[in-house]
Structure 1
Amino acid sequence: MKAIATQLAAIVSPESVLEWEDIDAMRQEHIQGAIASNIAPSCIVYPQTPAELAAVMAYTDSNNWRILVYGSGTKLSWGGLAKNIQVLVSTARLNRLIQHAVGDLTVTVEAGMKFADLQAVLAPTGQFLALDPTAPESATIGGIVATADTNSLRQRYGGVRDQLLGISFVRADGEIAKAGGRVVKNVAGYDLMKLFTGSYGTLGAIAQVTLRVYPLPPASGTVTLTGTAEAIAQATSKIRSSALTPTQADLLSSHLVTTIGIGQGLGLMVRFQSLSASVREQTARLVEMGQQLGLQSTTYSDADEADLWQQLQVQIRSPQPMQAVTCKIGVLPATAVATLLYLDRVAPESAIGTIHVGSGLGVIRFDNTSVKANTVLSMRTHCQNQGGYLSVLEAPAVFKQQLDVWGYRGNALDLMRRIKQQFDPKNVLSPQRFVGEI
Structure 2
Amino acid sequence: MITEELLTELSAIIPVERIKDGEQNHPLGNTSRVNVYPQSEEEIAAILKYANEKGKNIFIEGNGTKRGYGGLTESADILLSLTNYKGIVEHVVGDMTLTVKAGTTFKELQEYLAKHKQKISLDPYLPESATIGGVIASNDSGPKRLGYGSSRDSVIGLRIVYPDGKIIRSGGRVVKNVAGYDMNKLFIGSMGTLGVLSEVTLKLRPLPKCESLILLMFPQGDMEKIRAFSTKLLDSMMEPVTLELLSPTLSEKLTNQSLFTLAIGLEDVETSVRYQEKLIKSILPEQAEMRLLNPHEAQTFWNQFYSTSFNSLEESSVVSTASLKIGLVNLDVNHVSKEFHLLGESHNLVVEAHGGLGHGLCQLTLLGAKEDIVSAIQHCRETVTRLGGYAVVNHLPFTLRQEVDVWGEKPSYFFLLEGIKKKVDPNRVLNPKRFVGGI
TM-score under structure 1 length normalisation: 0.93
Q: Label 1:118 to 1:376 Cα distance change in 2 as closer, same or farther (>3 A).
A: same
| Distance of 1:18 and 1:95 partners within structure 2 | 19
What does the per-residue CA deviation read over 1:91-129, in whole Å, with 9 as the maximum and x for residues that have no partner? 121112110011111000111111111112211111001
SS in 2 for 1:236: helix
Q: Give the letter aligned to residue 279 of structure 2.
A: R
- From 299, 305, 329, the equivalent of 1:306 is 299
User: Which letter does structure 2 place at the counterpart of 1:379?
Assistant: C
User: How far, CA to CA, are the matches of 2:179 and 2:82 in structure 1?
Assistant: 26
CA shift digits 1:196-235 (9 cap, x unpaired): 1111110011111100111000111111112122211111
Query: Residues 334 and 288 of structure 1: is their aligned pair in 2 closer, same or farther, counting only changes over 3 Å?
Result: same
Query: Quick one: structure 1 residues 18 and 184, their matched pair in 2 at CA, closer, same or farther if it must change by over 3 Å?
Result: same
Structure 1 residues 91 and 193: CA distance shift in structure 2, 3 A: same
Instruction: Verify: 1:239 aligned to 2:236, yes or no.
Output: no
Corresponding residue number in structure 1 for 2:142: 151
**Whole-angstrom distance in 2 between the partners of 1:205 and 1:82:** 19
Alignment partners' CA distance in 2, 1:215 and 1:358:
23
Q: Mind listing any 5+ residue stretches in structure 1 that lack a counterpart?
A: none
Residue in 2 that maps onto 1:77: 68
- Find out whether 1:265 has 2:267 as its counterpart: no
Q: Give 1:142's match in structure 2, choosing from 121, 133, 136.
A: 133
Rounded to whole Å, the distance in 1 between the matches of 2:120 and 2:331 is 29
Query: Any idea what SS the aligned residue of 2:125 has?
Result: coil
Say which of 283, 297, 311 aligns to 2:277. Answer: 283
Q: 1:273 to 1:317 in 2, by over 3 A?
A: farther
TM-aligned CA deviation for residue 283 of structure 1: 1.4
Matching of residues 89-104 of structure 1 within 5 Å = 89-104=80-95
How many correspondences in the alignment?
Answer: 426
Residue of 25, 29, 34 corresponding to 1:34: 29
Report deviation, 1:399.
Answer: 1.5
Q: CA deviation at 1:383?
A: 0.9
Equivalent position SS for 1:85: strand
Quote how far apart the aligned CAs of 1:284 are.
Answer: 1.9
Q: Deviations over 1:252-310 (max 9, x none)?
A: 112222332353432110011111121111112112322x4331111112101111122
Q: 1:164 to 1:353 in 2, by over 3 A?
A: same
Structure (1/2) with the larger helix percentage: 1
Q: CA RMSD in A?
A: 1.8
Distance in structure 2 (CA, Å) of the matches to 1:420 and 1:120: 36
Distance 1:286 1:320 in 2: 38
Deviation at 1:189, TM superposition (A): 4.2
* Displacement after TM superposition at 1:137 (Å): 0.7
Counterpart in the other structure of 2:223 = 229
Q: Following superposition, which runs of at least 4 residues in structure 1 exceed 4 angstroms of deviation?
A: 315-319
Who is 2:359 aligned against? 359
Corresponding letter in the other structure for 2:28 = G
Match of 1:183 in 2: 174
Deviation at 1:312, TM superposition (A): 2.5
Q: CA distance change for structure 1 residues 19 and 319 in 2, over 3 Å: closer, same or farther? A: closer
Match of 1:391 in 2: 392
What displacement does 1:34 show? 2.9
- Structure 2, unaligned stretches of length 5 or more? none
> Which residue is equivalent to 2:313?
320
Letter of the 1:268 partner, please give it.
L
Counterpart for residue 379 of structure 2 = 378
